[in-house]
Amino acid sequence: MRVPAEMTSTAMLFERNDALVVEAFRRGEFDYLEGVGEVPEANFFRAIAGKKILEKLAATYPTPLQKHDVPLWVYIASDISMRFHGEHHFAAFPYVVRTGGMVEAFGPEMGHKVTHPETGDVTLVCTGFNDKNDYDRETPCDQDYLRKMARKTDADDLQSWFNRDVVGIFKQHHALDSEGIFIGDATYLFVPDNSNYEDSSRLLFDEHDHPVESKNVTAQQRARCQWRRCYKLVTLIHTNRAGEFFLYAGVEVTAGKNHESPILYRLVEQFVAAHGKGVMKRLILDRGFLDGPAIGRCKQEWGIDVLIPAKSNMDIFEDVVGLAKAGRLSFQPWVRPAPDAKPIPVHRPESIRKREEARQRTLAKRKMEAQATAESPDLSKIVIRSEVTVVRDVKTFSTCPVAVNVIVNREVYGDGHHEYWVLLDTAPVVHAAQSRQDYMLRTAIEERHRQLKCFSDLEAFTSRAFSLVVHQVVFVLLTYSLMQWFLLRIGRKELNPRTRTRTLELLRPSITVIVIYYQNYVAYLSPLQHQELVLTLDERARKKILAKTRRLRRNLAQQLQHPRAP
C-alpha cells in the first residue's frame, strides 16, 4: 500500500461524514475498517490538521534540507506527538507512536496495527514515504531522521519561525484576544554543570534560585549559595483578562548571563513588525524590565501600554510614598476577587443539602476551637487590609519620555504598620483596583513555568548541542500553545490551567468506536451501531464486504515480513 504522491506534501485528511460513509457501506463499499479508542491525541491532531494548521506549520518551517524524503508535516507532527507525551529522547519515538493517537488521526495510509510474526505482539506497520528501508517500517519516519533534522535546524531560524510564522498562524485562526494583553517574563533553565552545554553560563545562585554577585555576599550568605549552569528563557505570553488561556507569542533562549530586558523589548519590536500595530495593546512586566526609554518607545511608537512595578530606590517611588505617609492620598479598600464557585446542581436532594449544612457547621466550630487554642500569631506578618489609590500624570520617572500613572498599594498589617509597593502604568487609569488586578496576571506566569518544567520536562535536555536545546524549548512551547487553543476550541477552557498529565486524564475516553474509511471520509460508530449496520445489509452488499474484508486480512498478514529484531 504505497502513499500517493500528493500525500507526500499535504496532510492525510479525512472529513467526518457518518451518513455518506454508512450509505457507501450499505452498498458494500469501504476502504478500511478498525476499532480504536478515542484518545485525546487523535482528536488533537484531527483539529490542527482539519484547520490546516499542520500544513501551514510545514509550509513555513525553516528546513535545513533541500530534498525531503519525509514530508515536513510528518516531521512536525511526530515531534509534537513526542512533546504531547512529555518525551524528549528521540529513541522513545517508536513507543510514543505505538501508544499515542497520531497514526490513528491520519488513518490507515499513515499506519495500522498488525501482529508481529516473531513475538506475536501487536505493533504497527507503516507504508512510509520512500523505499530506502531494509526492514518493514513500524513508524511513519525513523527516529534518527527526527534527531538529525532537529540538530541541523538553525536555532535562530527556529526561534524566528516560532515568533513570526507560528504566532501568525494563531492570529489567522483568531486565537489572539481583542484586548491584546501580553505578559513578558524570563526564567532560568538549569542544566548539569558540564561546560559542553553550548552557550550556557555558570552563575552563583542563592537558596531561592536568584542570581547573586559573589563579591556582594557575606561568608554566611555564601554558604547558602551554589554555582549552577544555566540558560535563560525570555518569553512573551498572550492571555485575556480572565486568564482563560496562555499562548506563547515570543521566545528566545540565551546564555544565563545575558540580561533579559533588551531581549524582551527586541521580541516586542519583532512582534509588532511581524503582526502589525494594535495586536499587542497591553504589556505586563516584572521590575527586572524597568527601562524608561524602552517603555516610552512602546507607548509612543507602537501604542502599547506598559504596566510594571517600580523599585523602592526610584525617585518616583519615594515621591508617591512620601505623599501617602503625609496623608495626602485617599486610599480605597482592595479585595482580592474570589474564584468562581462551583455551580450547585439545580436538583439537589434534601438529604444532600442537610448533610452539607451540617458539615459546614462542623468546620466552622473546629476553626473557632483551633483559633482559641492556638498560640498568639505574629501580627506583624498578617495582612488585615489592602488599600489602593492612583496618582495620575507623574513625570518624575526621568528616563521615561511619557508621563505615567502611579498605582500606590498599601498593605496594613495586624500590628498597625504599613508597607507600600508601587505600579507604573502608561495607560489611562480609571480604577486603580483594575490595574492591580491586571498585574495579578503576571504572577500566574510563574505557575506556567512550574508546570512546563515539572510536568513537561522543559529543561530536561537530552543533548548539549545548543540547536537541540532550542529545538526542545520551541516544540514544548508550541505543543503547549496548540493544546491551549485546542481546549478553547472544544469548549474545555476550564482545563487550560491544569497540568499536562491532569488534562490528559480528564480528557481520557471510556468508549471504543468502530472507524470506517471511505475515500476521504470517515465514520465513527459505536460497536452496537456497527453490528446493527452489518446485520441489516442486503445479500449483495454483504458478499462485497466479505470479499473486501478477506482481501484486507490477507494483505495485513503479509505486510510485516521483515521486521526489526525485537
pLDDT band at residue 251 under the 50/70/90 scheme:
very high
Checking if the pLDDT of 523 tops 70, the result is: yes
Q: Is the pTM of this model over 0.85?
A: no
Kindly report, residue by residue over 456-471, the tens digit of the pLDDT.
Answer: 778 889 899 999 999 9
The continuous run of DSSP H or E covering 406 comes out as strand 404-413
The three grid cell numbers given for residue 46, joined into one nine-digit string: 484531527
pLDDT at 558: 57
Nearest residue to 232 (alpha-carbon basis) of 248, 256, 210, 209: 256
Q: What is the 3-state secondary structure (H, E, C) of 452-502?
A: HHHHCCCCCCCCCCHHHHHHHHHHHHHHHHHHHHHHHHCCCHHHCCCCHHH
Q: What is the 3-state secondary structure (H, E, C) of 329-346?
A: CCCEEECCCCCCCCCCCC
Checking if the pLDDT of 47 tops 90, the result is: no
Checking if the pLDDT of 18 tops 50, the result is: yes
Kindly report, residue by residue over 187-222, the tens digit of the pLDDT.
Answer: 999 999 999 999 999 999 988 888 988 888 888 888
3-state helix, strand, coil split of the chain in percent (to 5) is: 45, 20, 35
Checking if the pLDDT of 5 tops 50, the result is: no
Q: What is the 3-state secondary structure (H, E, C) of 277-308?
A: CCCCCEEECCHHHCCHHHHHHHHHHHCCEEEE
DSSP assigned state of 164: I
Checking if the pLDDT of 559 tops 70, the result is: no
CA dist., res. 334 & res. 437, Å (int):
10
Q: To the nearest whole percent, how much of the chain has pLDDT over 70?
A: 83
Strand partners, 307: 284, 425
